[in-house]
């Protein structure tokens, strides 16, 4: 499955882009991601575990300052020296560039925010809702066809499994030009 | 180009969905032909031969005898249900609460709304919501069968890791029978014998709610009914935060059938300053699959701790008790725990509703030992028939109606 996903991403990234007449159309981006970070449990008032997930999502770029994004993620919670729990879930939110396009390195700075739903099978309430927000940087590596992105994101979930998780995210962004 | 991408997407979706869905039963569907029964019996034998970790630890168990019982169950004269019941009896013979065979329910069972306790060789009503029964009633006969004889007969059906656990489950099930059919009971009440017929309701299983704080004077109380839920760790933390100013804490693990050892480790992390020695989980070849143990987590609770245990304190809950005793975290109060030092990590669906699950991973402490047979409490509490009649086993979680809790509070207050 991973090999298939890699093949698709590379295929899309290296396919010839059509310039010109359809540039103004909304662009769909594929966004595979990985995130990892410490987990602050609000019940304990302590950092007591680590969280990670691999996500596969997309963003619909309506314009530079308005993109709709969503992601499905699979991951886990790791309890150092003891065990782990599997998690899954999805996010939906908005993404926007933070500066107007000026041809400089700052073009790649963006912000993201939205809602997240987290499923933890081994819990009384399997679904836990919260939000996320963060900033990232998008670095073009193959023209405008493939970007490497890294982000600092805060995942916040109140309630029974209340926690705050400042995570580092890294991944690719592949514009689709159908 | 577009068609190619659509095809690639379909390929990806297919790859992601591959492997999803319910597994096919290994031995086929009902009715069970002789070949299917042989498949079921041989699958169970094979899994026990391969994984059962207690052959050397349980002197009462012989795998030769187990095989004889499994083969005797495969009798063409038995109905499918009788065949599976006989297999369940053979599996219960292994004296391992994690190793068990489930079968489809053909007729629902029920029991009157009453909890029984055993005092010596007698059985008393500890609490009841049935108007025909009273606290302290002694059960003499159930459906015409003498109570103790019935209890002994039920013992063989119970998959449990030690005698105390087996006896406790048999006691809880003493009044069980077909749902909707009244239990014909002969009881002793106030020195007189009388016959009553309380209705058997459906048996429901409820693991209990999440940990919640209570206070009895300067002593806090948290009941942990299960270690199966990760969010219970957070509920435990919140309860502990509310009880932080207490001078002692009771953690009630009675009836806790276990769950994840990492949930245990996280809760215990609130009572230690350091990382405790790791226990190991071993596979059937003696290889270490993982090491685990509690480490300090958050602000440590400062007061003394008492942990309540009983024969239903099993598996991960038994591990909690083991840690509390061995690592001197607190005092264990109540009865011998139920044991269960393994993880039922291997299972197989043999026919629809017929699943065999076996202890495949053994939990070993840092000395190489295990607590499969349960642990004696530091402070044993024994109930008398008079105390049962006075309601001292009627409502757990209140020292006025729970002698074990009252003793634990007294112990903490004396320190």
Asked whether the predicted pLDDT for residue B27 surpasses 80, the reply is yes
From chain A, the residues in CB contact with B228 under 8 A are 122
Tens of pLDDT, residue by residue over A116-143, are 999 999 899 999 999 999 999 999 999 9
**Residue A80 touches partner B, C-beta closer than 8 Å:** yes
The reported pLDDT for the residue numbered B415 is: 86
Tell whether A85 lies on the interface with B, counting CB pairs under 8 A. Answer: yes
- Cβ-based contacts of A46 with chain B (< 8 Å): 297-299
Give the pLDDT mean for A166-178. 92
Nearest to A81 among B233, B241, B295 (CB): B295
Q: Please answer yes or no on whether A45 and B298 come within 8 Å at the CB atom.
A: yes
Mark yes or no for CB contact B297/A15 under 8 Å: no
- The Cα–Cα gap between A115 and A157 comes to 10
Name the average pLDDT for chain B. Answer: 93
Chain Cα centroid distance, residue A74? 12
pLDDT of residue B15: 45
In angstroms, the separation between the Cα of residue B124 and the nearest Cα of chain A is 34
- Please name every residue paired with A166 in a beta bridge, in sequence order, or none if there are none: A154
3-state secondary structure of B120: coil
- Closest-CA residue of chain A to B268: A82
Asked if B8 lies within 8 A of A11 by C-beta distance, the reply is: yes
Q: Which residues of B touch A12 (CB under 8 A)?
A: 5
Which residue among B232, B292, B297 places its CB closest to the CB of A46? B297
Distance from CA of A136 to the nearest CA of B (A): 28
pLDDT over 60 (residue B405): yes
Share the mean pLDDT of chain A.
Answer: 89
Q: Which residue of A has its CA nearest to B294?
A: A82
3-state helix, strand, coil in chain A (%, to 5): 10, 65, 25
Residues B319-350: pLDDT tens digits?
A: 999 999 999 999 999 999 999 999 999 999 99
CB contact under 8 A, B230 and A162: no
pLDDT digits (tens, 9 = 90+) for B214-268: 999 999 999 999 999 999 999 999 999 999 999 999 999 999 999 999 999 999 9
Q: Which of A4, A50, A51, A79 to mutate to test the interface with B (most CBs of B within 10 A)?
A: A79
**B298, A162: Cβ pair inside 8 Å?**
no
Separation between Cα atoms, residue A37 and residue A177, nearest integer Å: 33
Percent helix, strand, coil in chain B, to 5, is 30, 25, 45
Q: Supply φ then ψ for residue B400, to 5 degrees.
A: -75, -20
| Lowest-pLDDT choice from B174-188, B204-218, B303-317 | B204-218
CB contact under 8 A, B8 and A8: yes
**Within 13 A of B162's CA, how many CA atoms are on the CB side?**
22
B270 → chain A, closest CA residue: A44
Confidence of residue B202 (pLDDT cuts 50, 70, 90): confident
Name every chain A residue with its beta carbon within 8 A of the beta carbon of B290.
Answer: 83
Which one of A80, A122, A125 has the shortest CB-CB distance to B260?
A122
User: How far apart are alpha carbons A25 and A28 in whole angstroms?
Assistant: 10
Q: Please tell me the distance from the alpha carbon of residue A109 to that of residue A111, in angstroms, as a whole number.
A: 7
- When CB atoms are compared, the residue of B210, B259, B262 closest to A79 is B262
pLDDT band at B204 (very low <50, low <70, confident <90, very high): low
Class of residue B312 by CB neighbours under 10 A (exposed 0-12, middle 13-18, buried 19+) = buried
**A85: chain B residues, CB-CB within 8 Å:** 230, 260, 262
CA dihedral B57, B62, B66, B67 (to 10 degrees): 120
pLDDT category of residue A178 using cuts at 50, 70 and 90: low
Of the partner residues A48, A123, A178, the one whose CB lies closest to the CB of residue B297: A48
Q: Do the Cβ atoms of B292 and A5 come within 8 Å?
A: no
pLDDT at B198 over 50: yes
DSSP 8-state code for residue A108:
G
Judged against a pLDDT cut of 50, whether residue A169 lies above it is answered with yes
User: Are B234 and A161 an interchain contact pair (Cβ–Cβ within 8 Å)?
Assistant: yes
Interface list for A 46-65 with B (CB within 8 A): 46, 48
Interface test with B, best of A13, A16, A42, A44 (most B CBs within 10 A): A44
The Cα B271–Cα B220 span in angstroms is: 14
Could you write out the DSSP letters of every residue in A58-106?
EEEEEETTEEEEEEEEEEEEEETTTEEEEEEEEEEEEEEESS---SSGG
Q: How far apart are CA B326 and CA B370, in angstroms?
A: 12
DSSP conformational letter for B180: T
Interface residues of B toward A, Cβ cutoff 8 Å, are 1-2, 5, 8-9, 11-12, 15-16, 18, 210, 228-238, 241, 259-262, 265-266, 269-270, 275, 278, 290-295, 297-299
Cα separation, A134 vs B256, whole angstroms: 41
CA distance A123 to chain B (A): 4
Query: Residue B103's pLDDT band (boundaries 50, 70, 90)?
Result: very high
Residues A9, B200: contact at Cβ < 8 Å? no
Confidence of residue B269 (pLDDT cuts 50, 70, 90): very high
- For residues B253 and B309, the answer to whether their CB atoms sit within 8 Å is yes
Q: Mind listing the pLDDT tens digit for each residue in B158-181?
A: 999 999 999 999 999 999 999 999
CB contact set of A10 (below 8 Å; sequence gap of 6+): none
- As a whole number of Å, the end-to-end CA separation of chain A is 23
């Amino acid at each position: 499955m991973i090999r298939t996903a890699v093949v698709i991403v590379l295929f899309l990234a290296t396919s010839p882009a059509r310039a010109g007449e359809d540039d103004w159309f909304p662009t769909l981006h594929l966004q595979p991601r990985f995130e990892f970070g410490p987990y602050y449990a609000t019940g304990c008032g302590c950092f007591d575990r680590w969280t990670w997930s691999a996500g596969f999502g997309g963003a619909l770029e309506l314009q530079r300052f308005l993109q709709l994004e969503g992601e499905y993620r699979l991951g886990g919670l790791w309890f150092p020296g003891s065990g782990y729990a599997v998690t899954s879930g999805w996010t939906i939110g908005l993404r926007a560039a933070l500066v107007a396009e000026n041809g400089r390195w700052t073009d790649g700075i963006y912000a993201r925010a939205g809602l997240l739903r987290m499923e933890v099978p081994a819990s009384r309430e399997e679904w836990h809702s919260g939000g996320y927000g963060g900033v990232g940087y998008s670095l073009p590596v193959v023209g405008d066809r493939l970007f490497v992105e890294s982000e600092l994101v805060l995942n916040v979930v109140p309630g029974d499994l209340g926690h705050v998780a400042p995570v580092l995210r890294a991944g690719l962004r592949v514009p689709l030009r159908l | 180009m577009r068609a190619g991408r659509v095809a690639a997407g379909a390929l990806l979706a297919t790859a992601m969905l591959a492997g999803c869905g319910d597994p096919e039963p290994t031995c086929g569907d009902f009715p069970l032909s002789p070949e299917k029964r042989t498949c079921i019996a041989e699958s169970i034998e094979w899994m026990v031969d391969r994984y059962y970790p207690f052959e050397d630890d349980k002197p009462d168990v012989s795998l030769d005898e187990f095989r004889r019982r499994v083969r005797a169950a495969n009798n063409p004269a038995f109905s499918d249900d009788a065949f599976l019941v006989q297999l369940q009896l053979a599996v219960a013979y292994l004296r391992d609460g994690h190793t068990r065979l489930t079968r489809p329910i053909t007729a629902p069972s029920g029991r009157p709304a009453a909890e029984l306790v055993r005092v010596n060789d007698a059985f008393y009503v500890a609490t009841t919501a049935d108007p025909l029964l009273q606290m302290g009633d002694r059960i003499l006969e159930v459906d015409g069968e003498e109570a103790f004889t019935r209890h002994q007969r039920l013992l063989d059906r119970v998959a449990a890791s030690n005698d105390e656990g087996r006896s406790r489950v048999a006691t809880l099930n003493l009044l069980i029978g077909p749902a909707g059919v009244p239990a014909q009971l002969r009881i002793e009440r106030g020195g007189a014998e009388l016959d009553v017929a309380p209705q058997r309701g459906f048996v429901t299983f409820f693991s209990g709610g999440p940990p919640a704080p209570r206070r009895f004077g300067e002593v806090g109380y948290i009941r942990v009914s299960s270690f199966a839920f990760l969010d219970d760790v957070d509920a435990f933390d919140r309860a502990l935060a509310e009880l932080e100013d207490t001078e002692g804490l009771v953690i009630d693990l009675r009836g806790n059938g276990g769950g994840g050892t990492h949930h245990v480790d996280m809760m215990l992390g609130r009572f230690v300053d350091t990382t405790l020695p790791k226990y190991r989980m071993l596979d059937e070849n003696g290889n270490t699959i993982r090491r685990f143990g509690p480490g300090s987590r958050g602000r440590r609770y400062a007061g003394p701790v008492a942990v309540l245990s009983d024969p239903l304190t099993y598996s991960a809950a038994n591990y909690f008790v083991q840690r509390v005793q061995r690592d001197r975290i607190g005092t264990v109060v109540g009865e011998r725990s139920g044991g269960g030092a393994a993880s039922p990590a291997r299972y197989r669906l043999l026919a629809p509703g017929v699943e065999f699950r076996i202890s495949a991973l053994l939990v070993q402490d840092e000395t190489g030992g295990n607590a499969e047979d349960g642990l004696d409490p530091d402070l044993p509490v024994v109930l008398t028939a008079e105390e049962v009649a006075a309601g001292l086993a009627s409502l757990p979680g209140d020292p006025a109606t729970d002698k074990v809790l009252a003793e634990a509070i007294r112990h903490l207050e004396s320190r």
